[in-house]
Copies of this chain bind each other. A is one copy, B any other.
Amino acid sequence: MNLSKNDIDNLEHTFAINLINSITGIKPANLIGTSDLNGSQNLAIFSSIFHLGSKPPLIGFVTRPSKKVIRHTLSNILETKFYTINHIPPQYTKNAHLTSAKFEKEISEFDTCGFTSELKDNFCAPFVKESAIKIGMKYVDSIPIVHNNTTIIIGEVENITIDNNSLIDNNGNIDLSHSSGVSGLHTYYSLLKENSYAHATLKEHAIK
Protein backbone atom coordinates (compact mmCIF):
# COMPACT_ATOMS: atom_id res chain seq x y z
CA MET A 1 0.00 0.00 0.00
CA ASN A 2 1.36 3.42 -1.03
CA LEU A 3 -0.43 6.52 0.26
CA SER A 4 0.43 10.00 -0.99
CA LYS A 5 -0.33 13.22 0.91
CA ASN A 6 -3.49 13.57 -1.14
CA ASP A 7 -4.53 9.96 -0.41
CA ILE A 8 -3.97 10.53 3.33
CA ASP A 9 -5.97 13.77 3.32
CA ASN A 10 -8.91 11.95 1.72
CA LEU A 11 -8.98 8.78 3.84
CA GLU A 12 -12.25 7.82 5.56
CA HIS A 13 -12.20 9.40 9.06
CA THR A 14 -11.97 6.26 11.26
CA PHE A 15 -9.45 4.62 8.93
CA ALA A 16 -7.28 7.76 9.04
CA ILE A 17 -7.45 8.02 12.86
CA ASN A 18 -6.47 4.35 13.30
CA LEU A 19 -3.71 4.52 10.67
CA ILE A 20 -2.05 7.69 11.96
CA ASN A 21 -2.36 6.54 15.58
CA SER A 22 -0.61 3.24 14.78
CA ILE A 23 1.95 4.37 12.16
CA THR A 24 4.69 5.38 14.64
CA GLY A 25 4.93 1.82 16.02
CA ILE A 26 4.46 0.48 19.52
CA LYS A 27 3.54 2.89 22.32
CA PRO A 28 3.84 2.35 26.08
CA ALA A 29 0.52 1.60 27.83
CA ASN A 30 0.41 3.56 31.09
CA LEU A 31 -2.22 4.71 33.59
CA ILE A 32 -1.95 8.24 34.98
CA GLY A 33 -3.33 8.61 38.50
CA THR A 34 -4.37 12.00 39.87
CA SER A 35 -6.45 13.54 42.63
CA ASP A 36 -8.07 16.95 43.03
CA LEU A 37 -7.51 19.02 46.18
CA ASN A 38 -10.61 17.42 47.75
CA GLY A 39 -9.15 13.92 47.32
CA SER A 40 -11.44 12.89 44.45
CA GLN A 41 -9.31 10.48 42.40
CA ASN A 42 -8.98 9.98 38.65
CA LEU A 43 -7.28 7.28 36.58
CA ALA A 44 -6.82 7.42 32.80
CA ILE A 45 -4.90 5.49 30.17
CA PHE A 46 -2.27 7.37 28.16
CA SER A 47 -0.22 6.02 25.24
CA SER A 48 1.74 9.21 24.56
CA ILE A 49 4.19 9.11 27.48
CA PHE A 50 7.79 9.56 26.34
CA HIS A 51 11.30 9.84 27.81
CA LEU A 52 12.49 13.44 27.57
CA GLY A 53 15.81 13.22 29.43
CA SER A 54 17.69 11.52 32.25
CA LYS A 55 19.48 14.36 34.09
CA PRO A 56 17.16 15.77 35.37
CA PRO A 57 14.76 12.80 34.97
CA LEU A 58 12.03 14.32 32.75
CA ILE A 59 9.01 12.61 31.16
CA GLY A 60 6.55 14.12 28.68
CA PHE A 61 3.05 13.25 27.49
CA VAL A 62 0.55 14.72 25.05
CA THR A 63 -2.92 15.94 26.00
CA ARG A 64 -5.71 16.65 23.56
CA PRO A 65 -7.37 20.08 23.24
CA SER A 66 -8.90 20.92 26.62
CA LYS A 67 -11.40 23.62 25.70
CA LYS A 68 -14.32 21.47 24.58
CA VAL A 69 -14.12 18.67 27.13
CA ILE A 70 -13.07 18.95 30.75
CA ARG A 71 -9.95 16.85 31.03
CA HIS A 72 -9.89 15.54 34.59
CA THR A 73 -6.30 14.31 34.47
CA LEU A 74 -4.98 17.65 33.24
CA SER A 75 -7.09 19.79 35.59
CA ASN A 76 -6.01 17.65 38.58
CA ILE A 77 -2.32 17.93 37.61
CA LEU A 78 -2.56 21.69 37.28
CA GLU A 79 -4.44 21.88 40.62
CA THR A 80 -2.12 19.67 42.74
CA LYS A 81 1.10 19.63 40.65
CA PHE A 82 1.52 15.88 41.20
CA TYR A 83 0.56 12.69 39.33
CA THR A 84 1.58 9.06 39.00
CA ILE A 85 2.52 6.97 35.96
CA ASN A 86 1.78 3.25 36.31
CA HIS A 87 2.68 0.44 33.88
CA ILE A 88 -0.27 -1.73 32.81
CA PRO A 89 0.17 -5.46 33.46
CA PRO A 90 -0.81 -7.59 30.39
CA GLN A 91 -3.72 -9.18 32.29
CA TYR A 92 -5.22 -5.72 33.05
CA THR A 93 -5.40 -4.19 29.57
CA LYS A 94 -9.21 -4.54 29.36
CA ASN A 95 -9.65 -2.77 32.70
CA ALA A 96 -7.15 -0.08 31.67
CA HIS A 97 -8.88 0.45 28.31
CA LEU A 98 -12.19 1.14 30.10
CA THR A 99 -10.69 4.16 31.87
CA SER A 100 -10.92 5.93 28.50
CA ALA A 101 -14.73 6.07 28.76
CA LYS A 102 -16.07 9.51 29.69
CA PHE A 103 -16.81 9.16 33.40
CA GLU A 104 -18.19 12.02 35.47
CA LYS A 105 -15.58 13.79 37.58
CA GLU A 106 -16.92 12.44 40.90
CA ILE A 107 -16.67 8.82 39.67
CA SER A 108 -13.33 7.17 40.46
CA GLU A 109 -12.05 4.99 37.61
CA PHE A 110 -10.11 3.01 40.23
CA ASP A 111 -13.30 1.48 41.63
CA THR A 112 -15.28 1.41 38.42
CA CYS A 113 -12.57 -0.19 36.27
CA GLY A 114 -11.24 -2.67 38.82
CA PHE A 115 -8.02 -1.11 40.09
CA THR A 116 -6.86 -0.51 43.66
CA SER A 117 -5.79 2.98 44.68
CA GLU A 118 -2.60 3.13 46.73
CA LEU A 119 -1.42 6.21 48.63
CA LYS A 120 2.13 6.39 49.98
CA ASP A 121 4.42 8.65 51.96
CA ASN A 122 2.25 11.76 51.77
CA PHE A 123 2.46 11.77 47.96
CA CYS A 124 -0.84 13.39 47.02
CA ALA A 125 -1.54 11.44 43.78
CA PRO A 126 -2.75 7.83 43.89
CA PHE A 127 -0.70 4.90 42.56
CA VAL A 128 -2.14 1.73 40.99
CA LYS A 129 -1.54 -1.24 43.31
CA GLU A 130 -1.80 -3.73 40.44
CA SER A 131 1.07 -2.08 38.50
CA ALA A 132 4.50 -3.65 38.94
CA ILE A 133 6.26 -0.38 38.04
CA LYS A 134 5.05 2.98 39.38
CA ILE A 135 6.46 6.49 39.07
CA GLY A 136 5.61 9.49 41.23
CA MET A 137 5.75 12.67 39.11
CA LYS A 138 5.95 16.41 39.83
CA TYR A 139 4.53 18.80 37.23
CA VAL A 140 7.18 21.03 35.59
CA ASP A 141 5.71 22.78 32.54
CA SER A 142 3.06 22.84 29.78
CA ILE A 143 4.25 23.30 26.21
CA PRO A 144 1.46 24.43 23.86
CA ILE A 145 1.70 23.00 20.34
CA VAL A 146 0.06 25.59 18.10
CA HIS A 147 -0.07 23.30 15.06
CA ASN A 148 -2.88 21.13 16.44
CA ASN A 149 -3.90 22.73 19.74
CA THR A 150 -2.41 19.91 21.86
CA THR A 151 -0.25 20.42 24.95
CA ILE A 152 2.87 18.54 25.98
CA ILE A 153 2.96 18.15 29.76
CA ILE A 154 6.46 17.84 31.23
CA GLY A 155 7.08 16.34 34.66
CA GLU A 156 10.05 15.32 36.78
CA VAL A 157 10.41 11.89 38.39
CA GLU A 158 9.98 12.21 42.17
CA ASN A 159 10.04 8.54 43.17
CA ILE A 160 10.03 5.06 41.65
CA THR A 161 8.54 1.81 42.96
CA ILE A 162 9.40 -1.54 41.39
CA ASP A 163 7.39 -4.28 43.07
CA ASN A 164 9.82 -7.11 42.43
CA ASN A 165 13.60 -6.71 42.30
CA SER A 166 13.75 -9.35 39.56
CA LEU A 167 12.24 -6.72 37.22
CA ILE A 168 15.41 -4.59 37.31
CA ASP A 169 18.94 -5.78 36.54
CA ASN A 170 22.22 -4.68 38.16
CA ASN A 171 22.70 -1.98 35.52
CA GLY A 172 19.31 -0.34 36.07
CA ASN A 173 17.53 -1.82 33.03
CA ILE A 174 13.86 -2.59 33.65
CA ASP A 175 12.36 -5.86 32.40
CA LEU A 176 9.15 -5.00 30.51
CA SER A 177 7.66 -8.51 30.47
CA HIS A 178 5.06 -7.40 33.06
CA SER A 179 4.23 -4.22 31.11
CA SER A 180 2.11 -3.66 27.98
CA GLY A 181 2.33 -1.89 24.67
CA VAL A 182 -0.49 -0.39 22.63
CA SER A 183 -0.89 0.19 18.91
CA GLY A 184 -3.23 2.95 17.84
CA LEU A 185 -6.26 3.41 20.07
CA HIS A 186 -7.34 -0.07 21.08
CA THR A 187 -4.91 -2.89 20.27
CA TYR A 188 -2.71 -4.19 23.09
CA TYR A 189 0.58 -6.07 22.80
CA SER A 190 2.69 -8.12 25.19
CA LEU A 191 6.44 -7.56 25.08
CA LEU A 192 9.06 -10.27 24.54
CA LYS A 193 12.71 -9.46 25.24
CA GLU A 194 14.85 -10.54 22.30
CA ASN A 195 18.32 -8.98 22.47
CA SER A 196 20.48 -6.59 24.43
CA TYR A 197 23.50 -5.00 22.75
CA ALA A 198 26.48 -3.10 24.11
CA HIS A 199 26.97 0.62 23.42
CA ALA A 200 27.64 0.79 19.66
CA THR A 201 31.15 1.74 18.53
CA LEU A 202 32.82 2.08 15.13
CA LYS A 203 34.84 -1.11 15.74
CA GLU A 204 31.75 -3.25 15.29
CA HIS A 205 30.54 -1.82 12.03
CA ALA A 206 31.48 -4.62 9.61
CA ILE A 207 28.54 -6.93 10.28
CA LYS A 208 27.02 -7.10 6.84
**Are B59's CB and A24's CB within 8 A?**
yes
A141 to B58, CA, bound (A): 21
A52 interface neighbour in B56, B114, B148, B205, Cβ under 8 Å: B148
A-B contact sample (10 more), CB < 8 A, given A23-B157, A101-B204: A1-B161, A3-B159, A19-B168, A23-B133, A98-B200, A98-B205, A101-B200, A143-B152, A188-B196, A190-B192
When C-beta atoms are compared, the residue in chain B nearest to A6 turns out to be B159
Contact indicator A94/B207 (Cβ below 8 Å) = yes
Chain B residues with CB below 8 A from A202, complex form: 101-103
Q: Which residues of B contact A173 (CB under 8 A)?
A: 18-19, 22, 183-184, 187
Give per-residue flags for A14-43: 1 if the beta carbon is below 8 A from chain B beta carbons, else 0.
Answer: 111111111111111110000000000000
Contacts of A70 in B (CB 8 A): none
Distance (Å) between the CB of A198 and the closest chain B CB? 7
Using known A-B contacts A16-B55, A145-B52, determine if residue A197 contacts B1 with beta carbons closer than 8 Å.
no
Of all chain B residues, the one with the shortest Cβ separation from A29 is B25
Q: Are B145 and A154 in contact, CB atoms less than 8 angstroms apart?
A: yes
For chain A, give the interface size range: 35 or more
Is the beta-carbon distance between B195 and A176 smaller than 8 angstroms?
no
Q: Is A135 an interface position by the 8 A CB rule? A: yes
* Cβ proximity bits A159-192 to B, threshold 8 Å, 1 near / 0 not: 1111001001001111010011101111111111
Given known A-B contacts A157-B8, A176-B26, A54 and B21 have beta carbons under 8 A apart: yes
Partner of A204, one of B21, B27, B56, B98: B98
| A147 B25 Cβ-Cβ under 8 A | no
Q: Select which of B23, B159, B190 is within 8 A of A5 by beta carbon.
A: B159
